[in-house]
Structure formats: structure tokens, C-alpha cells
Structure 1
């Protein structure tokens, strides 16, 4: 049975953002199974701040949880079909609500390097259709400093108030030989949630480089239209 141990959080990487009301803000609730991972996640949050310039990321609380759930038990399927994760997510939401806070995003850090059926080796973002949205992060992010920034990009795409969820420069899918893939009608296949530039934050493969990935003007326009910034009206 999961047990939570709560610790209050605070602003993340907020240097230069003294007036919170002047900046769009994403609030984050953090769940970890091992307190030693908090430092790693704080680095990831600071890097997200560096990527999505002009957006304040505020941590509204940490909670440590005793759970046997690992990433190998979790797949890319919708949250409704991930029973163990759904249970944990609901308990996390309830936990934060009891403490009179409802984060825009809950990030759960779980042990493991692979997700079920190798859905992804690092992390997954879930479109929960309303806040709090969910990101699950694996131990694999230790070598990839921009993973949380990438997943937050997906959340900001999910919440576009004009339902304009596609990346402005979608990723062209290729086979093992690097050749463009086509569908049954002969059309090129695109992964529209990701970017085609390997130096971009929304490229589908994570970067180990300490050099920040790029964000384009068109991407910033898209994320600025997230309803999460509309005076919390949808919360």
C-alpha cells in the first residue's frame, strides 16, 4: 500500500522572476520513491526553465512514496489502461488537494530504465485531458538533462487552447536504414508530436549534451497559447 511523506516545495530557478504575476507559470507537484532523486529532478526543472524562457516553473510540493511500482509495469497506453499508474496518479492528486494545492503537472519519478514493451527508455507524458497532467520519469534521465523540458513541451502542446497540438516542424519517420517511411497510400509518415531537427528540444531522441537544445519562434508561439496560462480559468 502506497504511503506519502510530504515536504513543501518552492519556486524553481526563479532568478529574475521576482514578480510571479508578470510571468506565465506552470506549477509542479513532485512524487519520488527515493529522496535521493529529488536533486536530479531539481536539475531537470532548472533546465526546463532554461529551455522554455519566460515561463516560471514553480514546485508546489514534494512527496515521497513507498511503492513497488516500476517503469517496466507502465506502458504508453492511455492512463485509463495503465491500472497501477492510474491508482498512483489518483492518490497523488488527492494528496495534493488535501493540502489545498492542485498542480498543473504531477511528475512521478520511478525506478527502472525501460517502460513496458519498450514504449520509451526515459519518460512518458500523459494527456489526462485536464490538470493535473502527468509525466513519469525513469532512472534513465540521469544521463539526459533535458528530458523533463521535453515532456513539459508535450504538456504545453496538449493544452493548446486552439487544439493546435502538432509540432510546427513534425518529425519524418524513418526506418532502420534511415529511409523515409510511408503509409499504405504512399504518403510520408510523420510523428506530429515531435520535431524533425535533431538539435530541437522536441526531437524524439534525448540528448546527453550539456548544450541546451533549440526552441523555435513557432514553438514558443504554440506553447504560449496553452490554456494553463489563462489566469487558471480551466483549473
Structure 2
């Protein structure tokens, strides 16, 4: 695994307990985790509002934030992730498209995001284009080390937008929630980077098990938020175990210096 350039769709291992200095520790019981995101949308990104209007926030972005906040919670509502948009802005000085996005483009995005707002947990970029970086993906979670700083990124394409084209429903308001799930899994404080019920019987293009996604053997499992693909027009499901796993992210552990260390 390249520590500087990584797609966050799989981890390396799983375990049952955390050991430090020979002392076994039980996982922290986090009830509420606050994930602070900075959102920047670009020219020709479909956010369903005149791109120059900053207030109120574009309808698409509001819907997708609401979807993330509605689903990342346990069935009893006691434990949840609160996704907070701490900064938002429109960038019209750079033309960056998802299909042609490369390492130089990602480096530029990180510097643009950090130039607007320095201290977000995750930077979310809405870009024009239907798919991302030569793949079929319509959303993608990544991290990059730029200027000696580790930065977590979500790329959202126009293809991810919930819409109807020629009577066919496409995209989903839950793509953002899915991608943020990858980041929370990957930053797990205990190294438990995989989904609690991983899709490990499927191999990725690099030959490794697809453990960052939820198992998709049954119709019910395919409706899960963290399954490999999200069905358009369907509200996905989530398990309490997945929410608890997400709440073990280093973003939420008390006294932890954070995922950038």
C-alpha cells in the first residue's frame, strides 16, 4: 500500500481488540462523532443552483448532507455521526473535470481546498463529469500527502447527482454518505479498516479482497449503504455495527491528535 496515494476502498486487516504496551483495551464507546467537511463546487458542477450563489447552499449539496446525517446513526438513534459543513464556496478560476482528473489535478484540488479553509477533516469537491479518473465510479474517497500534510478528499461527479434521464433514475443522494463511510473506516483508531461484514469474496482489480465494501450476496445486502454500488431511487440501509465501526474513526477518539499523524 502506498502511504501517499491511496483509494480508500479497502484496508489491510481486522482484529477483535486493541493492544497497546501489552495491555488489552476495549474500544471506545463513542456516542456522537462530529465530522467537519469543507465543500467546494466548480464551474459546470451540477449543484442545482446558480453557481455564484453561496447562500443558501445549493439544493443538491443540502440534500446529500441531510442524507448522510440521516443514515449514519444506530437504529435507536443513540449513536450517530454528525456531518457538519464548516465551510463552502464556489471556485470559477479552475476547470477540473472528473474524467481527466490526475495526480496533478488532485494536488491542485488539495491546495485550493486548504487555501479556502485550513482545518477541515475532509474536503469534498463537486466537479463536472460523469465518472471519475477513467473508472465507472461516480464518487471516490482518497487521501493524498501534499506539502507534507495528509488530506482526506471526496470527489463527487455530476454522475452521482440524483436525477431522471429519459425516464431512468440515475445517481443517488447517498453517494456522499458512502464515500465518507470509506474515510471513517480507513481512519479507524484500532486498525479495523474493513466493513463489519466485508465483501471479501470479491476481488478488486489489483487482486485484493474488496473488504472496504459491505457484502452483496443477497438483495437485502445489496441495499446496504456500503455495498459496492448504490441503487438509484432506493433509500439504503445500514447496520448498527457499521455505525459503531465508523465512530471508531480517529476523528472522534477523545484525546487523539487526529488522522493526520
**After superposition, where does 1:78-227 map in structure 2 within 5 Å?**
82-97=103-118, 102-118=119-135, 120-128=136-144, 132-143=151-162, 144-171=172-199, 172-173=201-202, 190-196=209-215, 197-211=221-235, 213-227=236-250
Counterpart of 2:134 in 1: which secondary structure?
A: helix
In structure 1, the gaps of 5 or more residues are 1-21, 76-81, 176-180, 184-188
In structure 2, the CA distance between the partners of 1:52 and 1:28, relative to structure 1 (3 Å rule), is: same
Counterpart of 1:43 in 2: which secondary structure?
A: helix
Give the drift of 1:147: 0.1
Counterpart of 1:24 in 2: which secondary structure?
A: strand
> 1:73 matched to which residue of 2?
100
In structure 2, distance between residues paired with 1:25 and 1:134:
17
Counterpart of 2:223 in 1: which secondary structure?
A: coil
In structure 2, the CA distance between the partners of 1:232 and 1:123, relative to structure 1 (3 Å rule), is: farther
TM-score normalised to structure 1 length: 0.73
In structure 1, distance between residues paired with 2:158 and 2:255:
32
In structure 2, the CA distance between the partners of 1:57 and 1:95, relative to structure 1 (3 Å rule), is: same
In structure 1, distance between residues paired with 2:184 and 2:249:
6
Give the drift of 1:133: 1.3
> 1:51 matched to which residue of 2?
71
Out of 8, 17, 26, the residue aligned to residue 35 of structure 2 is 26
Greater share of helix residues, 1 or 2? 1
Give the drift of 1:111: 0.2
In structure 2, distance between residues paired with 1:232 and 1:59:
23
Give the drift of 1:169: 1.5
Greater share of strand residues, 1 or 2? 2
More contact order relative to length (CA 8 Å, sep ≥ 6): 2
RMSD over aligned CA atoms reads 2.5
TM-score normalised to structure 2 length: 0.66
In structure 2, distance between residues paired with 1:36 and 1:231:
37
**What do the CA deviations read for 1:145-174 (whole angstroms, capped 9, x no partner)?**
210010010010011001110112222328
Counterpart of 2:70 in 1: which secondary structure?
A: helix
Paired residues, number: 191
In structure 2, the CA distance between the partners of 1:174 and 1:160, relative to structure 1 (3 Å rule), is: closer
Give the drift of 1:231: 4.1
